[in-house]
Structures are given as C-alpha cells and as structure tokens.
Chain A
Amino acid sequence: SQQGEEDPQALSIQEGENATMNCSYKTSINNLQWYRQNSGRGLVHLILIRSNEREKHSGRLRVTLDTSKKSSSLLITASRAADTASYFCATDALGTYKYIFGTGTRLKVLA
C-alpha cells in the first residue's frame, strides 16, 4: 500500500479531554502535514512540520515529529464536539512532489 499508517483507527472521548493520534510513514520526507476531514467533505489543512523540526504548536494543536522512527503525533487539547472529524497525516517524500496520506483516525468527541 502507498499509504502510511495511523492509529488508533477510531477514538471516542469526552469533551474537554485531550485526543492523541499517531502516524507512521515509510520514506524520508521533506515535511509532514495533518489534515482534517468532516464527513463527506474535502480535507482542510491543519498544521505542517518540517523534517528538521521536532515539535510545533498551533492553538490547541501540538504536533511532534520523530524522523528516526518515521512517526508523528497530533495532540488536540481541550477537545470540543466540533473537533469530531477524521484526521489524516500526509507526507511528501524526498525527491517527489506527491503527498501520501495515512489511513486516518476517526475522532468522535462526545458532548
């Protein structure tokens, strides 16, 4: 498969809790991005982390990147019901301009 792996595949939490999802990929990369997709819609970019960065923050989002393990994590703090969506990581391998997406984590935040 050309896709990376994400875990968990599905996650259900209470509003106010933190949500953590993980992504593993296969090749050396330029950067890694996280996208969000509401049911039946297109994807929306959330955050990008470059291969020479280890951690990045944006609002309630925190992304980490470990290039030695070829893995990344996305933490959403103080989750809200509106965060309910699918979350995908995407990588662009060195020497290419195509983006490979993971299999996604389906997050459900219960009010």
Chain B
Amino acid sequence: DTGVSQDPRHKITKRGQNVTFRCDPISEHNRLYWYRQTLGQGPEFLTYFQNEAQLEKSRLLSDRFSAERPKGSFSTLEIQRTEQGDSAMYLCASRAIGRRRDRGSGANVLTFGAGSRLTVL
C-alpha cells in the first residue's frame, strides 16, 4: 500500500449527469477526508469520516452531494445532477488517529491522493 488512490483521475460529463469518485486510503488510516479545489484556490473542506461514520459535513456540500464509506475502507463521493459550477479537482486524504491528537506529528498529517478532476460541460 503505497498511498492514497483516487479514481478516475479525470472525468468529463455533461450537465445533469451523475458522477461518482472513489478513494482508497492508506489501509491503516481510519480518518478519510474529501476536499474540493478550484483553480487558484486552496482545498475547501467537504466532509470527513472516522471509520464508516461521517462525522462532519460542510455547508458547501449541497443535497446533490453524498459521500459514503460503507466498510470503513474505501470511500465514494457522488454528485447528482451535475452543474458547471461543480467543475473542480476533488481531493481525498487520509490520516491515522494517534492516542493523543498532538502526540507525534505523523498522526496529524494528511496524505493526499492525486485528485479526480471533474469537468462539467
């Protein structure tokens, strides 16, 4: 297991179609995050999971967005009825949980995948 994998790397779709992205985190990492990044901006938090539980969801995540992590391993992010404004890079990241949040820098570090770039025509 060499890192966080995301699939597909690129997706071009027509407005109104549904798209799904998959993220496979580092196997021993039990926290998984989704971010959205548009050109020239920093990553914007969308949601995160601890194991299979979705613990927080940003207001950016409209009803058209849903994320799951059914077995606490891989995660999917689905966008329904895509709009041109959904065009962005969707980044997945994972991290381990330390026994204490500040014990050792490794447990607090996010490992990112290469991202899934969505273009909505």
Whether chain B is bound by chain A comes out as yes
A residues in contact (CB < 8 Å) with B: 2-3, 6, 30-31, 33, 35, 40-45, 48, 50-51, 88, 90, 92, 96-104, 106
* Total cross-chain contacts (CB, 8 A): 74
Decide: A42 and B91 in contact? CB cutoff 8 A. Answer: yes
Decide: A48 and B105 in contact? CB cutoff 8 A. Answer: yes
The residue in B41, B93, B113, B114 that gathers the most chain A C-beta atoms within 10 A of its C-beta is B41
A35 neighbours in B (Cβ, 8 Å): 110, 112
A47 vs B41: C-alpha distance when bound (angstroms): 20
Decide: B112 and A97 in contact? CB cutoff 8 A. Answer: no
Size range of the chain B interface in the assembly: 20 to 34
Decide: B112 and A42 in contact? CB cutoff 8 A. Answer: yes
* A95 CB to nearest B CB, Å: 10
B19-73 contacts to A, CB under 8 A, are: 31, 33, 35, 40-45, 48, 50, 55-56, 58
Decide: A92 and B43 in contact? CB cutoff 8 A. Answer: no
A50 neighbours in B (Cβ, 8 Å): 102
A33 vs B117: C-alpha distance when bound (angstroms): 25
* B83 CB to nearest A CB, Å: 20
> Are A100 and B45 also in contact (CB < 8 A) when A42-B114, A45-B110 are?
yes
